[in-house]
């Protein structure tokens, strides 16, 4: 459960940009706590309440509020996605309106059938909410869910097990709670039992025992508590955490998995991990930042040892509106898949009027780059089944100030792949390493209208006829001491004329061997109010929500352009754009 906790907001305000802070506040604001000036002062903006903003191929149920992805798995030919779901409406529930596990199934990760909720609060071990958790397939054919139960109004948390009632039911519609719940209780010295949640998928250690990690606050800092079991039901705490850190007072929505450098084959954590694999610990920091650390799982000591402890340099899974992400091993295609919760960025009253709030990012394959420094992500290839008519341009030269209109595709639902080839890179402006600590600030200051030597160049999308409204996704190239550093930005500040929306400028840097590669790729999925971008082959990903006024009018199609505002001419060897069909996401 991604829980935004009011008490720490004062501190957060100092740490984060206002955009992230707003994102964090979306939770508590809906519970009606203090510090909600930004969204509670504005009334419902009727322009936002339009079906035209509802996404066409991102997962969401037919109505109501959703948040974290929970327990994703592939079992007997079916993909299961569960999610935190409010059956009572499109607002963030609290201990009066308890959250349940919504359930959707698919055979292709594109089209989804919504089922009845799988797990609901109906025992003393989860009576105030069934919060996030994971699924593990034990002994090859027994799916097991482990989830956090909230037991009282003070939000004390325990961990529970649920099992499918009938494993022959292809959809696994009904789930039974284990008789020995809760299988894990807090009762650890120094553990805050109100910050103890989101158990990971299980993995097997060299001793043949199952392990899971549970996010916690231990003695005031963040910890991934480690538990062991022979049968997945009887759990014993290991006397030290898998990992702990002062980077956050709590680690939530943990995910732990192994990856092989340079290979996009996923690894199954229920089997022995091959030599040469690295491990990744994904952590939700400060109730709003999904970061990951690459490191080594020291089997002797049973601890995770990160390659770097400097939390300021931990990369984000996605630099945009993307939190509580979760991965799973897809045994059908031998890959690891990740997705996350993406919030609305309008007001809670708009969400109540719309009748829905929250989507999941499009499922992405995730793997480790060959230098072991960065995870790469790419939309699962099944998305291509939605591609309709294709626009293709080759050999475009974009000189400084050029704006090339991409016409002929549906600009509301599109998949765009564009390569930017740099003819000369010697003139790149110098890189200042201090920028790494605040890429968003750098994106705001050096925006698409500020000319550089190489860049900004990229896409202008969802633009109104007069371009008053538009969203920009762009790159800038810098020369660092050893290599090239690329800044990718997704600038939403002019994405909508509707006042009162959260319209941040997201950004992230990645290191790139431009001398070898010469080309920087950008892929952007436009899905009405969702703009999901993948830079440099998926080295930096940015998910965003936008609500352009020009989109509400049925008769107008927004415009889409490639542009360059840098001194160096940028060549586009290939630009392809497809209109995207509507998926069956909430049947």
547 in Cβ contact with 501 (< 8 Å): yes
H or E stretch at 484: strand 484-491
213 in Cβ contact with 297 (< 8 Å): no
H or E stretch at 442: helix 439-445
CA separation for the pair 200, 169 (Å, rounded): 25
Between 231 and 553, name the residue whose CB sits nearer to ligand NAG.
231
SS3 51: helix
Residue 205 in tokens: 């250690």
Residue number with the smallest Cβ distance to ligand NAG = 448
CA separation for the pair 143, 123 (Å, rounded): 21
Between 30 and 545, name the residue whose CB sits nearer to ligand NAG.
30
Between 236 and 370, name the residue whose CB sits nearer to ligand NAG.
236
Query: Least distance to ligand NAG from the beta carbon of 450, Å?
Result: 7
CA separation for the pair 292, 272 (Å, rounded): 22
Query: Least distance to ligand NAG from the beta carbon of 363, Å?
Result: 26
Query: Least distance to ligand NAG from the beta carbon of 183, Å?
Result: 10
Query: Least distance to ligand NAG from the beta carbon of 88, Å?
Result: 8
User: Strands 210-218 and 203-204: what pairing?
Assistant: antiparallel
Between 368 and 473, name the residue whose CB sits nearer to ligand NAG.
473
Residue 434 in tokens: 């201090």
Is 307 designated active site?
no
Per DSSP, what are the bridge partners of residue 303? 298
Query: Least distance to ligand NAG from the beta carbon of 134, Å?
Result: 21
State yes or no: cis peptide before 351, omega within 30 of 0: no
Query: Least distance to ligand NAG from the beta carbon of 483, Å?
Result: 27
486 in Cβ contact with 386 (< 8 Å): no
Number of other residues whose CB lies within 10 A of the CB of residue 547: 27
Between 311 and 483, name the residue whose CB sits nearer to ligand NAG.
311
Beta strand ranges found along 208-358 (DSSP E): 210-218, 221-229, 235-237, 243-245, 251-259, 278-285, 289-298, 303-306, 323-330, 335-342, 356-357
CA separation for the pair 529, 545 (Å, rounded): 5
Q: What does the binding site for ligand NAG look like in residue numbers (CB under 6 A)? A: 31, 91, 94-97, 166, 168-169, 221, 234, 236, 244-246, 448-449, 460, 472, 563, 565
Edge-to-edge, what's the strand order for the sheet holding 570-580?
387-398, 570-580, 413-422, 519-527, 530-535, 540-545
Between 303 and 412, name the residue whose CB sits nearer to ligand NAG.
303
Query: Least distance to ligand NAG from the beta carbon of 32, Å?
Result: 6
H or E stretch at 157: strand 157-164
Query: Least distance to ligand NAG from the beta carbon of 98, Å?
Result: 10
392 in Cβ contact with 418 (< 8 Å): no
φ/ψ (deg, to 5) at 448: -65, -15
φ/ψ (deg, to 5) at 9: -60, -35
Nearest Cα residue to 211 out of 248, 186, 188, 243: 243
Between 220 and 274, name the residue whose CB sits nearer to ligand NAG.
220
Between 67 and 565, name the residue whose CB sits nearer to ligand NAG.
565
Between 51 and 116, name the residue whose CB sits nearer to ligand NAG.
116
Query: Least distance to ligand NAG from the beta carbon of 185, Å?
Result: 14
Query: Least distance to ligand NAG from the beta carbon of 291, Å?
Result: 15
Between 251 and 366, name the residue whose CB sits nearer to ligand NAG.
251
Radius of gyration of the chain (CA): 23
Query: Which candidate in 68, 290, 502, 527 is catalytic?
Result: 68
CA separation for the pair 208, 204 (Å, rounded): 6
Residue 86 in tokens: 């409010």
Tell me which residues are annotated as active site.
68
């Amino acid at each position: 459960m991604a829980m935004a906790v009011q008490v720490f907001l004062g501190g957060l305000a100092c740490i984060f940009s206002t955009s992230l802070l707003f994102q964090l506040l979306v939770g508590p604001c809906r519970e009606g706590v203090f510090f909600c000036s930004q969204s509670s002062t504005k009334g419902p903006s009727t322009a936002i309440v339009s079906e035209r903003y509802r996404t066409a191929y991102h997962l969401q149920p037919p109505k109501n509020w959703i948040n974290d992805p929970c327990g994703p798995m592939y079992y007997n030919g079916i993909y299961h996605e569960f999610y935190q779901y409010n059956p009572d409406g499109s607002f963030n529930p609290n201990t009066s309106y308890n959250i349940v596990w919504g359930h959707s199934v698919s055979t292709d990760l594109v089209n989804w059938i919504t089922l009845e909720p799988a797990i609901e609060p109906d025992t003393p071990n989860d009576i105030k909410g069934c919060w996030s958790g994971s699924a593990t397939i034990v002994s090859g054919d027994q799916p097991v869910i482990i989830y956090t139960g909230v037991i009282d109004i003070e939000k004390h948390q325990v961990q529970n097990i649920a099992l499918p009632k009938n494993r022959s039911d292809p959809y696994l519609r009904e789930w039974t709670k284990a008789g020995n719940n809760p299988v894990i209780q807090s009762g650890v010295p120094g553990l805050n039992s109100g910050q103890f949640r989101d158990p990971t998928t299980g993995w097997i250690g060299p001793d043949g025992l199952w392990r899971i990690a549970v996010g916690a606050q231990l003695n005031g800092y963040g910890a991934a508590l480690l538990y062991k079991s022979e049968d997945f039901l009887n759990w014993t705490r290991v006397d030290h955490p898998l990992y702990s850190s002062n980077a956050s007072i709590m680690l939530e929505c943990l995910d732990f998995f192994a990856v092989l450098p340079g290979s996009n084959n996923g690894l199954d954590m229920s089997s022995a991990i091959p030599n040469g694999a690295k491990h990744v610990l994904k952590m939700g920091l400060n109730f709003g930042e999904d970061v990951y650390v690459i490191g080594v799982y020291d089997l002797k000591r049973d601890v995770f040892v990160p390659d770097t402890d400097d939390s300021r340099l931990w990369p984000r899974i996605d630099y945009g509106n993307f939190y509580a992400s979760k991965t799973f091993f897809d045994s059908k295609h031998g890959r690891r898949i990740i997705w996350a919760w993406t919030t609305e960025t309008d007001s809670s009253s708009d969400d109540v009027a719309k009748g829905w709030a929250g989507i999941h990012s499009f499922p992405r394959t995730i793997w480790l780059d060959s230098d072991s420094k960065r995870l790469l992500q790419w939309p699962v290839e099944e998305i291509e089944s939605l591609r309709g008519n294709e626009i293709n341009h080759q050999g475009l030269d974009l000189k400084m100030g050029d704006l090339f209109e991409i016409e002929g595709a549906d600009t509301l639902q599109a998949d765009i792949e564009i390569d930017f080839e740099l003819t000369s890179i010697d003139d790149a402006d110098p890189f200042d390493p201090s920028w790494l600590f605040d890429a968003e600030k750098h994106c705001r200051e050096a925006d698409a209208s500020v000319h550089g030597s190489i860049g900004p160049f990229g896409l202008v999308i969802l633009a109104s006829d007069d371009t008053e409204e538009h969203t920009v996704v762009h790159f800038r190239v810098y020369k660092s001491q050893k290599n090239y550093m690329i800044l990718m930005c997704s600038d939403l500040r002019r994405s909508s004329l509707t006042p009162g929306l959260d319209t941040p400028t997201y950004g992230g840097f990645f290191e790139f061997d431009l001398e070898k590669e010469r080309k920087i790729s950008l892929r952007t999925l436009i899905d009405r109010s969702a703009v999901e971008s993948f830079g440099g082959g998926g080295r930096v990903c940015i998910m965003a929500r936008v609500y352009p006024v020009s989109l509400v009018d049925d008769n107008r199609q927004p415009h889409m352009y490639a542009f360059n505002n840098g001194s160096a001419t940028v060549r586009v060897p290939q630009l392809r754009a497809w209109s995207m069909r509507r998926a069956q996401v909430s049947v």
